[in-house]
Amino acid sequence: MYLKSKYATSAFSLVEVLLVLVILILLAKQTWTSNLANLFARTDYEQLALSQHSLARGLTLARQFAVQAKQAVSFCGGHHLESSCDGSWSSGWYIQSDTGIKTYHLFPSDIQIRWSGFPANKKQIDFYESGHSGYQNGTFYLCQYGFIARIVLNQSGRFYLMDITTLSELGEGC
């Protein structure tokens, strides 16, 4: 008579276990690589969004200061230490009045900013006591790693932010 064991023994062979491990490792590597790339892309997107909001905050502060102080104020592109309103918007911005520089912000070196509007090649935006920008209207273009953000300024000194898109969607850039 043949006795059957209560406990059946079944197992995977060493080759089967190794094959499954190799497949899992390849899937994990692919997932990790794509998630890591997305993480850096989000960081670039967020940095561009922060720069867009900083430029918008500067426009708001300059306009508010002009109205509250009842004097003309210049929103200048460039480095605040040079105090020359040289129009290099990629360096940063500062607010200047008759009494000196009020505040400033420097941009990261990998962000490019260009002003396109009337008048062309404007090195500063002047805000008057009324809050108007003296018929200076146009668009700021902020670019970084294939993304573009825009701020559109109208003649009354007000602005609005455009959604961040990729450069290929817009067809124009910095």
Domain with residue 99: its CATH number is: 3.55.40.10
4 in a structural domain: no
Query: For 90-128, what is each residue's pLDDT tens digit?
Result: 999 999 988 888 888 898 888 999 988 877 777 889 999
pLDDT category of residue 146 using cuts at 50, 70 and 90? confident
Parent domain of 104: 16-170
Query: For 155-174, what is each residue's pLDDT tens digit?
Result: 888 999 999 888 776 566 67
Report the distance separating Cα 40 and Cα 147, nearest Å: 13
Q: What is the pLDDT of residue 88?
A: 87
Residues paired with 165 in a beta bridge: 148
Residues paired with 97 in a beta bridge: 100
131 in a structural domain: yes
Question: What φ, ψ does residue 107 adopt, rounded to 5°?
Answer: -90, 155
- pTM, 2 dp: 0.72
2 in a structural domain: no
Query: For 21-36, what is each residue's pLDDT tens digit?
Result: 999 888 887 777 666 6
Q: Answer yes or no: is pLDDT of 10 > 60.
A: yes
5 in a structural domain: no
Q: What is the pLDDT of residue 133?
A: 86
Place of tokens 């898109």: 165
9 in a structural domain: no
Question: What φ, ψ does residue 63 adopt, rounded to 5°?
Answer: -65, -45
In contact, 153 and 118? CB cutoff 8 Å: no
Range from 13-17, 63-67, 82-86, 146-150 carrying the lowest mean pLDDT: 82-86
In contact, 61 and 95? CB cutoff 8 Å: yes
Query: For 37-69, what is each residue's pLDDT tens digit?
Result: 666 656 788 889 999 999 999 999 999 999 999
Of 56, 74, 72, nearest to 123 by C-alpha is 74
Q: Answer yes or no: is pLDDT of 71 > 70.
A: yes
DSSP type of residue 51: H
Cβ-based neighbour number of residue 48 at 10 Å: 22
The total number of structural domains that make up the chain: 1
